[in-house]
């Protein structure tokens, strides 16, 4: 469904030097797969996810969606390709000036051209799915972190994406709120949604995810089935990482 071919990305630092975050990364994601991107901080996993969506422009390499090149210069097609992806941020990024249901309706009406009634129906359907139909008229500032993230997921789903990208969706949450968000994501996966998830939740990566991609220093070090990665990591770096994240 999505093919990433040898992409590189670097950022200019404040001191004027270049910071190479991705140094030639290739990856293929099949329809219905749940891929977890894991690795230490600064390994490039969030940047990889943002490059796939086009929030960051890649320096070299190519990204294909359903075997078609994603080319930012082909504006109309590029827009259509991007609209097939939903994105969930670490910090939710709900629109604070709108209620929950308005957050869910805005893009449906303005991008997909749905009528108010139709958008309302779809919004309520997904709010129901994330368990928050009663919060339809609440403003985001009155919600807990977990609720905000569930609304953000509903908002992305309203656009009927074919693949969902999650950028550390539980990292900004109170410990007690993490599970409710992961449950929503698990349900989504069970319904066959293709998902790419940057996460530090090893339990989620192991139980819900099909595949783990382990990054370090801008390279993919491991790319294998979740169970295999957790029970039998091949590289020393991955073994070291796993020994540090699990506290026995």
Residues that bind another protein (CB under 8 A): 53, 55, 79, 82-83, 85-87, 89, 91, 93-98, 106-107, 110-111, 139, 141, 155-156, 159
Nearer to another protein, 95 or 246 (CB): 95
Q: CB of 156: closest distance to another protein in angstroms?
A: 7
Sign of CA dihedral 200, 221, 56, 111: negative
Strand 194-198 with 34-38, pairing: parallel
Q: CB of 105: closest distance to another protein in angstroms?
A: 11
- Tokens matching residue 60: 């070299």
Nearer to another protein, 62 or 98 (CB): 98
Q: CB of 89: closest distance to another protein in angstroms?
A: 6
199: β partners: none
**Helix residue spans in 21-177 (DSSP H):** 45-53, 75-82, 100-110, 116-129, 145-157
Q: CB of 157: closest distance to another protein in angstroms?
A: 11
Q: CB of 161: closest distance to another protein in angstroms?
A: 9
Q: CB of 24: closest distance to another protein in angstroms?
A: 25
- For 31-42, the DSSP string reads TT-EEEEE-STT
């Amino acid at each position: 469904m999505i093919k990433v071919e040898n992409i590189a990305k670097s950022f200019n630092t404040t001191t004027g030097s270049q910071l190479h975050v991705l140094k030639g990364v290739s990856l293929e994601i099949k329809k219905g797969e749940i891929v977890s991107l894991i690795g230490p901080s600064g390994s490039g996993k969030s940047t990889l996810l943002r490059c796939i969506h086009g929030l960051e422009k890649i320096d070299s390499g190519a990204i294909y969606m359903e075997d078609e090149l994603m080319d930012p210069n082909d504006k109309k097609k590029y827009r259509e390709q991007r609209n097939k992806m939903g994105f969930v941020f670490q910090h939710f990024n709900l629109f604070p000036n709108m209620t929950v249901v308005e957050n869910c309706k805005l893009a449906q009406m303005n991008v997909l051209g749905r009528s108010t009634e139709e958008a309302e129906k779809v919004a309520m359907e997904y709010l129901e799915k994330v368990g928050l139909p009663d919060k339809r008229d609440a403003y985001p500032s009155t919600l807990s972190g977990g609720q905000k993230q569930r609304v953000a997921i509903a908002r992305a789903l309203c656009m009927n994406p074919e693949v969902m990208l999650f950028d550390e969706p539980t990292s900004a949450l109170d410990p007690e709120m993490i599970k409710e968000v992961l449950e929503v994501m698990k349900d989504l996966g069970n319904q066959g949604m293709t998902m790419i998830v940057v996460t530090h939740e090893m339990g989620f990566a192991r139980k819900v995810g099909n595949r783990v991609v382990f990054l370090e220093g801008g390279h993919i070090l491991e790319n294998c089935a979740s169970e295999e990665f957790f029970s039998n990591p091949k590289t020393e770096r991955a073994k070291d990482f796993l020994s540090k994240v699990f506290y026995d």
